[in-house]
Structure 1
Amino acid sequence: MPAFKNLPEPPRAAKKPVTDTRHGVTRTDDYAWLRADNWQSMFKDTSILDPEIRAYLEAENAYQDAAMADTADLRKKLFDEMKARIKEDDSSVPMKDGPFAYGTLYVKGGEHAHYFRTKRDKDGLKEILLNGDREAEGKAYCRFSGLDHAPGHDKGIWGFDDKGSEYFTLKIRDFKTGKDLADLLENTGGGGVWAPDGKSFFYTRLDENHRPSKVFHHILGQPQSSDRLVYEESDPGFFMGVGGSMLEDFIFIDIHDHETSEYRLLSTKNLTAEPMLVAERVEGIEYSMSEGGDVFYILTNDGDAKDFKIMQAPVNAPGKENWTEVVAHRPGTLILSVEAYKGHLVWMERHEGLPRIMIRDRVTGEDHSIAFAEEAYSLGLIGAMEYDTDWIRFSYSSMTTPSQLFDYNLKTRERVLLKTQEVPSGHKIDDYVTRRVFAPTADGEKVPVTLLYRKNTKLDGGAPCLLYGYGAYGISIPASFNTNCLSLVNRGFVYAIAHVRGGKDKGFAWYENGKMENKRNTFSDFIAAADYLVRQQYTSFDRIVAEGGSAGGMLMGAIANMAPEMFAGVIAAVPFVDVLNTMLDDTLPLTPPEWPEWGNPIDSREEYDYIASYSPYDNVGAKAYPPILALSGLTDPRVTYWEPTKWVAKLREHTTSNNPVLLKTNMGAGHGGASGRFQRLEEVAYEYAFALKVIGKA
């Protein structure tokens, strides 16, 4: 029986053909009108959205409401289950810094974090510095960028975005009075880096195209208009970030795209000086820096070190000509990050697909590692706030094991368990199985697939499966504990993550083989994973629901075009599906910085043709598409709302099946969806209800 019955007539977007000719190729886009001409201004004030566009989005929302109306009770049940697995009044283990330890907590029923501190080494009274629930009162959306305390521990920078557009407003909280100073900084990237005296800080400001193109120095008590411009990046293809060293000696200006980077340093001994260039940008060369007293440690891929190596250079002469090797490049062992402390060098690496933490004694040169024995797991290096310390912090979890937080002594190798994630409704590890299997591809590769299912789930091909994928920017999807997916697993699902090319799950080459002219490998890997799971009788094609978001939403659009018969349903969250049009529009926030990831179709006919060959929107055709759910945010600056909107309109026009194509647009949020922790659960419950509905278990 069909999962969707008695549906009203779906909205039909008007066709207003717009033609575009590039490299002698002319394309017609019937739905280009859904892109608001005033999108930059609309991100700050949604009331100015074109009424015709708003009416269409609201009609789509009404249609998906009708299509999913019969899942209302199921969604409530799913939400209640997921909420019951969350410790509502949870609190982090505070991190020590000077006389205090800083952390976050939640209160029962609260949506947002409260930032607190306690006296160092004492379990005393928590001093609330910023109450997130109070600050979010009256706002439909509110996301915080954190609270960065000043070196003197008397005040802190905090930021908020109340539209979902990722334009953050910064304020300064006085910890003694609990009130904010008069300083108000708008259109920032969120957060700032304090000068050592606590009288000023550095921050990035976003330009009209939503790019962090300028670094400013703000002196407390002065208006934002008088802030000094420290550095401006003129190349729209590069993003900037600003950070600081633990010793408070330097301000780091990090300039980067997805394959090239450049650092500029500002000594805090002279805040008005021009930032000093460390090593000029060279296409394809990446590096990052961490201060280690009299030296900098530099993580880089320079010299054909694809999986990265660690170098060092004197603090007073950090130029590339003075770099010397500390940790050599080892093909197949990807170094992810490095941190320096007074007595030890600490780095994260991924070896044979699994993460581990490496520690080196800076005096003796002796190395040792922190690793675990499970078949698939997630490891997070949290580190420390202080440079002169023997203790660092890390987290561990697996698909079956709730998150554990440890303090680790770098000298004695003592491991102290600080906290284990509580699941108030109960969780028995032995009821579940986690596995890592490998799906063969047509070109001879093997795609890692992480699985989670209940021990009593029959693996005879009849189990439903949610298959998740991402595969872009070198991002690896961790095999970590996820209380939400238990709502599917407990209903007999196999929950699977396909670690497709485009991520760095198997080293840097795994990323390279899933980008630019190799992008199609990402899509074929996901299809190979689905095929393998069926052949091994974990599931069947009419029981697989595919899910991905953002660049993973591009993956969803591609596999829906390439193999619609292999999936019972597709969930595409904020999906990047209009790839060719977006990469041809250099005014959009992410376009120039993303050319190294996808290609530049403006300058290159070859790259134009390749993107056109897979861009989901451009390849929609007369096919029997499965049920598709697209999720969008009106103020999303990363994947603009019109991408999924146009895609849905075109899918609905061309599909040869009777399966519905649904679009749910959050009219008050952006890329990350709802900002509150329980509001987010409602969105997950909606997605899961769709998955259950399309496989007949709603």
Structure 2
Amino acid sequence: MKQTIFPSATPPVTEERPVDDTRHGITRVDEFAWLRADNWQEVFRDPSLLDPAIRSHLEAENAYQQALMADTEVLRKTLFQEMKGRIKEDDSSVPMKDGPFAYGSSYKKGGEQPRFFRTPRDGGTEEIILDGDHEAEGKPYFHLGGIEHTSDHKRLLWSFDDKGSEFFTLKTRDLPTGEDLADVITDTAGSGVWDAGNTGFFYTRLDPNHRPSKIFYHSLGTDTADDRLVFEETDPGFFMGVGGTRDNRWVMIGINDHETSEYRIIDAATPDAQPRLVAAREAGLQYDLEEGGDIFFVLTNADGAKDFKIMTAPVDNPGRENWSELVAHEPGRLILSVIGFKDFMVRLERKDSLPRIVIRDRADGSEHMIDFDEEAYSLGLSGSYEYDTEIMRFSYSSMTTPGQVFDYDMRTRERTLLKTQEVPSGHDPEHYVTRRLMAPSHDGELVPISLIHHRDTPIDGSAPCLLYGYGAYGIAIPAAFNTNILSLADRGFVYAIAHTRGGKDKGFAWYEDGKRQKKTNTFLDFIAAATHLVAENYTGHDRIVAQGGSAGGMLMGAIANLAPDAFGGIIAEVPFVDVLDTMLDDTLPLTPPEWPEWGNPIASVEDYRTIAAYSPYDNVGAKNYPPILAVAGLTDPRVTYWEPAKWIARLRKLKTGDNPVLFKINMDAGHAGASGRFSRLEEIAYNYAFALKVVGRDKTEAG
């Protein structure tokens, strides 16, 4: 493996305080368990409460990574300016119509946070109804949550998180005056739903362990301590949230884990009514509800519909016994979502690894698709604020085509381009090549790879490559336009996405083949993608930098253990690397709801052994690892900071060779990193500078 030149610096030596843990007769020793703060719940709310010894260690890690990356300071500033130059600083969304107004969001030049505005429906003077930059003043971290206006357009429900811990505070704003009311609620999930009369709203309260366990109703002008408990979920293994329909007719309480779902509904005109069960939870049964006037559209996997089908249910009696099939299950065609309109139904589906939009006329059942020309692309449904409309909005992009927003007339089939993403510094799609490859994996399955490179980049095996992967929760990574990666492409990189098992890129079975007992398929698919890129002469193993975040960060830890020689460097963002310990700790926010995804090692020795066999932290060994960068946030409730902190400490203890491992922790942020759009670019510039450095391109100018 090629040796990378980093400035000389002494890494922190992490104190060892061994702790034994015995489960199912198996004993493990964790020498770095002390890095987990005993008062982690309090730290999420107030980071100043962190144990001084832990804080001192994290600060030493930051000092070390700063020393090793000091010689990239100019490069990082250059990358930041390049990426910032591709952002239209005063960008604005296309307003979406709702009654007498059209609502949208925008940024002011130099602004970090979005502003929300409205105009008269058919154009006119813009009214700023919420200024994120103003609300963020004086806060090291600030993230806006849900924004929901009332149907009479007089009030706004909005939320924010100012710690990065995802405990959101809900506020209510009087739109005519612009003043916030006294109705303030803390510790929420970040959104709410107005009742039909706009006299109050439903919201989700988080418990001390950050779980969404209760739905409350708040009547405007009353003491929040008197809010009525609407529903409580007592099973910690289920997520819960509350939403509404565009016609303001229904309030929907959705309850789910990764395999099972359940809905309860309330007539929005009678907010005091008890929630009505639609179909009781049944292990493995998933369904989603969408409004349809006198019916609900039901997207479900019932009756063996692995890739889902669409059924209908009467709103007055929507139990499963009354579901009727509308769109049959078709193996290999995964239906992702449904939007109902008065005269049409729209579905987003994926077939042959590509998304497509299908419009159905509700009167005669006829269907048509919207056609697209490129080899690989990304689609998104924006829907509408309005239910009684024939206009549907969608977005389109590819790895070379900037994002486009269209209004589509579902009756005339006329497509109207409303906006094309502007790249102020310039972008010519003809300068880049995008491809779709299929990599043979260990068992013969073909793993899709989406890639982009500059047209002048030689495909002779000499190019460096950044290979991105995720592969969990059924999430498919789209082949979408990303202005940031152009800074790598312009420096001769091939940027590639490995669509590994664990996502739903090739249908629901692709997801099932990358979870629980089959989780190692995800790792082997990623390694196969790297091998195929080398075989196809796009790059060399010592020039591939692997990157992934969260569950994708766990992928990074696993491939580091399995095939350290296959990569020239690894970037693990908020990496879920201490999988076994986390799944054994049922007090952590996400552990019980995550058992269907990873397995329950508390109850099952088989699950324990499965996870122990691949958990990155538990499988660090005496290997010559490539340079590794781990990035995390102190107040992250999803992947707690101590996971990467422990992982890096054990890597340093056991690894061979001289390649450094770095840990960069944001002491003022959580899972998503820095909250401002430009401060986030600084973090990306840092990661890219690391990638450029480990492949020896840190002195290369953009072409």
Question: Secondary structure of 2:280's partner?
Answer: coil
Superposed, 1:654-673 pairs within 5 Å as 654-673=654-673
- Residue type at the aligned position of 1:488: L
Distance 1:14 1:349, change over 3 A: same
Q: CA deviation at 1:638?
A: 0.1
Q: Equivalents in 1 of 2:586, 2:500: separation in Å?
A: 28
**What residue number does 2:701 align with?**
none
1: CA distance, partners of 2:188 / 2:533: 45
Deviation at 1:267, TM superposition (A): 1.2
Deviation track 1:523-557 (CA, whole Å, cap 9, x = no partner) reads: 00000000000011000001000000000000000
What is the distance in 1 between the residues matched to 2:379 and 2:291? 24
Q: Does 1:113 align with 2:119?
A: no
Paired residues, what number? 697
1:186-240 Cα shifts (integer Å, max 9, x gaps) = 0000011001111100000000110111000001111221100000000000010
Instruction: Tell me what 2:513 maps to.
Output: 513
2: CA distance, partners of 1:235 / 1:146? 25
1:270 deviates by 2.1
Counterpart code for 1:177: T
Task: Report if aligned partners of 2:381, 2:393 keep a CA contact under 8 Å in 1.
Answer: yes
TM-score, with structure 2 as normaliser: 0.99
Structure-1 residue corresponding to 2:215: 215
CA contact (8 A) 2:6 2:69 kept: no
Q: Please say if 1:331 is aligned against 2:331.
A: yes
Q: Which moved more, 1:522-531 or 1:262-271?
A: 262-271
- Where does 1:87-486 land on structure 2 (aligned, <5 Å)? 87-122=88-123, 124-486=124-486
2:635, 2:669 within 8 Å by CA — same for their partners in 1?
Answer: yes
Question: Is the contact between residue 7 and residue 67 of structure 2 (CA under 8 Å) also seen in structure 1?
Answer: no
Residue identity (%): 66
CA contact (8 A) 1:462 1:538 kept: yes
Give CA-to-partner distance per residue, 1:468-526, whole Å, 9 cap, x none.
00000000000000000000000000000000000000000000000011000000000
Q: Counterpart of 1:523?
A: 523
Q: For residue 2 of structure 1, report the CA deviation from its aligned partner.
A: 4.0
Partner of 1:49: 50
The residue type paired with residue 292 of structure 1 is: G
User: Alignment partner of 1:303: what SS?
Assistant: helix
TM norm structure 1: 0.99
Query: Residues 6-45 of structure 1 correspond to what in structure 2 (within 5 A)?
Result: 6-45=7-46
Distance in 2 of aligned mates of 1:632 and 1:619: 21
Q: For 1:589-668, what aligned pairs fall within 5 Å after superposition?
A: 589-668=589-668
2-side partners of 1:380 and 1:102: how far apart?
Answer: 19
How many Å apart are 1:390 and its aligned residue? 0.2
Contact 1:216 1:231 in 2 (8 A): yes
Secondary structure in structure 2 of the residue aligned to 1:192? strand
Deviations 1:169-193 (Å, cap 9, x if unpaired)?
0111111111100111000000110
Which letter maps to 1:192?
G
Provide the C-alpha distance between the structure 2 equivalents of 1:269 and 1:164, rounded to a whole number of angstroms. Answer: 35
Task: Name the SS for the 2:488 alignment partner.
Answer: helix
Describe the SS at the equivalent of 2:524. helix
- Whole-angstrom CA distance in 2 between matches of 1:690 and 1:50: 30
CA distance in 2, matches of 1:266, 1:551: 35
- Equivalent position amino acid for 1:318 in 2: P
In the alignment, the residues of structure 1 paired with residue 362 and residue 79 of structure 2 have an alpha-carbon distance, to the nearest angstrom, of 51
Per the alignment, in what secondary structure is the counterpart of residue 607 of structure 2?
Answer: helix
Secondary structure of the residue that 2:527 maps to in structure 1?
A: helix
Which residue does 2:68 correspond to in 1? 67
SS of residue matched to 1:671: coil
Output the amino acid matched with 1:89. Answer: D
TM superposition shift of 1:125: 1.3
Residues 115-144 of structure 1 deviation map (CA, whole Å, 9 limit, x = unaligned)? 00000011x211000111000000000000
Deviation at 1:371, TM superposition (A): 3.0
Q: State the alpha-carbon separation in 2 of the partners of residues 398 and 657 from structure 1.
A: 40
Q: Indicate the residue corresponding to 2:556 in structure 1.
A: 556
Is the 1:216–1:227 Cα contact (8 Å) retained in structure 2? yes
What secondary structure does 1:144 align onto? strand
**1: CA distance between counterparts of 2:222 and 2:309?**
43
Q: Distance in 1 between matches of 2:401 and 2:598?
A: 36
1:682 matched to 2:685? The reply is no
- Supply the AA of the counterpart residue of 1:257: D
Q: Distance in 2 between matches of 1:336 and 1:200?
A: 32
Task: Look up the SS of the partner of 1:191 in the other structure.
Answer: strand
In the alignment, the residues of structure 2 paired with residue 99 and residue 411 of structure 1 have an alpha-carbon distance, to the nearest angstrom, of 23
Distance 1:284 1:314 in 2: 23
3-state DSSP of counterpart to 1:491: coil
Deviation at 1:249, TM superposition (A): 1.5
| SS, match of residue 484 in structure 1 | helix
State the AA in 2 paired with 1:223. Answer: D
Secondary structure of residue in 2 paired with 1:251: strand
Determine helix, strand or coil for the equivalent of 1:189: strand
- Measure the CA separation in 2 of the matches of 1:406 and 1:269: 34
CA distance in 2 between partners of 1:147 and 1:285 (Å): 31
Q: CA deviation at 1:6?
A: 3.9
- 2:502–2:515: 8 Å Cα contact kept in structure 1? yes
Counterpart position of 1:81 = 82
* One-letter amino acid of the counterpart of residue 68, structure 1: M
Which whole-Å CA distance do the structure 2 matches of 1:680 and 1:153 have between them? Answer: 33
SS at match of 1:43: helix
Contact kept? 2:637, 2:670, Cα under 8 Å: yes
Q: Distance in 1 between matches of 2:617 and 2:631?
A: 15
Q: CA 1:62 to 1:323, structure 2 compared with 1: closer, same or farther past 3 Å?
A: same
> Per-residue CA shift, 1:10-60, capped at 9, x if unaligned?
001100000000000000000000000000011000111000000000000
Q: Distance in 1 between matches of 2:666 and 2:682?
A: 12
- Paired with 1:313 and 1:352, the residues of 2 have a C-alpha distance of 30
Say whether the 8 Å CA contact 2:112–2:678 is kept in structure 1: yes
TM-superposed deviation, 1:147: 1.9
**TM-aligned CA deviation for residue 272 of structure 1:** 1.2
Distance 1:680 1:288 in 2: 33
Matches of 1:247 and 1:113, distance apart in 2 = 27
Structure 2 unmatched runs, 5+: 699-703
Q: Distance in 1 between matches of 2:25 and 2:13?
A: 31
Does the Cα contact within 8 Å between 2:146 and 2:192 map onto a contact in 1?
no
